[in-house]
Amino acid sequence: MSKELIDLVQNLGQPRVLVVGDVMMDRYVWGDAERISQEAPVILLRADRREERLGGASSVATMLRALGAKVQLAGIVGNDHDAGRVRQMLTDLSIDHEAVITDVARPSTVKERYVGRAQHRHPQQMIRVDYEDRRDISEQICKQIMLVVQSHLKKSDIVLISDYDKGVCTPALLSAVISAARARGIKVVADPIRGRDYRKYHGCSAITPNRLEAGLATNRTLNEMREVWEAAAQLQENLDLEAAVITLDKDGMAMKHRDGRAKHFPTRPRHVYDITGAGDMVMSVLAMALAAGADYEQAIPLANIAGGLEVEKIGVGTVTREEILCDLMTPGHATVAPNKVLSLEGTQQELDYRRRLGQRVVFTNGCFDVLHAGHVQYLQEARAQGDLLVVGLNSDASVRALKGKTRPVQPLAARSLVLAAMQAVDYVTIFEETTPMHLIQAIRPDVLVKGADYSKDEVVGAQFVEAYGGRVHLATLHHGHSTTNLIDRMRAA
């Protein structure tokens, strides 16, 4: 199956995905929770940073863009400052938001979270404030959305419905979207709300409720697989679905197909850091695979893997094709946890969180073609310079450009796996250039490490790091260890 899934990822192309749902913004206010206010018995938060991310259906659109899809988003925003921010963020990500209609009768949906650090570390959410109007959109707004959706369907490969129960996914709108898509032979996949009445999803190709949602919708408690199959069959038949796909957290996913197939897709154990966004990721990858022509029996295992990678991240993060491929290429899918081989964007997200905990970031780089004792000692010394170590790893093409056409001996997947298995290494990220300057500028490490066979003036990025107060460390050179000599001896043996 791994070979099939690798081929599927490599052939996903750039499907055109139309996302219909509740456009939202997630805002975070970070600060130190230092003391109790003198005005009232409440914690006083001394705010020092504000962060904005796309949420809801717009978060799904973000995930799809990171996976390489061309995305069109349909929904509503208010006539306010937050709407402008949402539109700008969508534009920056090249997400088409022509079908995001301004509704002057309501505010843009915003979830604002206040996160306090105790003693400058250990952040905890203190309170969430929601700005929203959950009433159903008006008939006029519904018609405006459908007018643009109809034109977008002419160039869409699949439709996703991302329902957060904020008023957009009304029975009237979903009926119109599903009917128009079916008339064009376009699949529709929905991530439903938690509720007992799922009639508005009638006619979808598939829905992806979790265990609790599927139980509520079918008036069952899904503790055993027998109950899961009964719920899946009920949803499939009552809603005229191609497939009912129920996500079962650590137990994977279960599918009941119209043609009679009923199959359980287990998932391998993961180190769960945060389940936020896992359902959106499952739906996104399922849709990408279906749009590429895959059957549910291929698409669901791929969605399983992507959902697993998502729960290993802090907060809602994106997953790239490279991360999925790296996971698939891990022999026997052995767990390297938390998932250490990340895209540059994924690395930045992880480092952002770790820095909030007050941790110092160390960076080094290399080809690490055939790992030997000298490498091990070097990486251990590098890790000792801070709280976590990021290793920039040359791609195969980059190694060839530096070392010649006979190198690397070990392909990228093998080199990254060996590095990620080392206790001293926290994250591995790949770069295509012959120098890591782009990575260094993006990561901005507190400590830059290179071997003592270099002088500080020769270290790429040294001036850049020292300019903002970082430092350069030249690690001890352990003589008698050389990758080139080791390879020559192996070839001569």
Bond into 338 cis (ω within 30): yes
Q: How many CA atoms lie within 13 A of 116 on its CB side?
A: 15
Inter-axis angle of helices 278-291 and 296-311, nearest 10 = 150
φ and ψ at residue 53, rounded to 5 degrees: -135, 155
Render the burial of 92-106: b for 16+ CB within 10 Å, e for the rest: ebebbbebbbebeeb
Containing 116, the helix (H) or strand (E) segment is: strand 109-118
Q: What is the DSSP secondary-structure string of 388-446?
A: EEEEEEE-HHHHHHHH-TT--SS-HHHHHHHHHTSTT--EEEEE-SSS-HHHHHHH--S
| 165, 171, 298 from 215: Cα distances, Å | 18, 21, 25
Rounded to whole angstroms, how far apart are CA atoms 493 and 487? Answer: 10
Q: Which of 444, 340, 465 is nearest to 393 (CA)?
A: 340
Does the annotation count 280 as an active-site position? yes
**Dihedral class, residue 122 (left if φ above 0, else alpha if ψ from -120 to 50, else beta):** left
The residue whose two tokens read 């992806």 is: 208
Q: Which helix (H) or strand (E) holds 114?
A: strand 109-118
Per DSSP, the residues of 322-371 read: HHHHHHHHSGGG---SS--B--HHHHHHHHHHHHHTTPPEEEEEE--SS-
Catalytic: which of 22, 103, 191, 280? 280
At what angle are helices 321-329 and 296-311 packed, to 10 degrees? 100
Check residue 456 and report its DSSP letter: G
Cite the active site residues.
Answer: 280
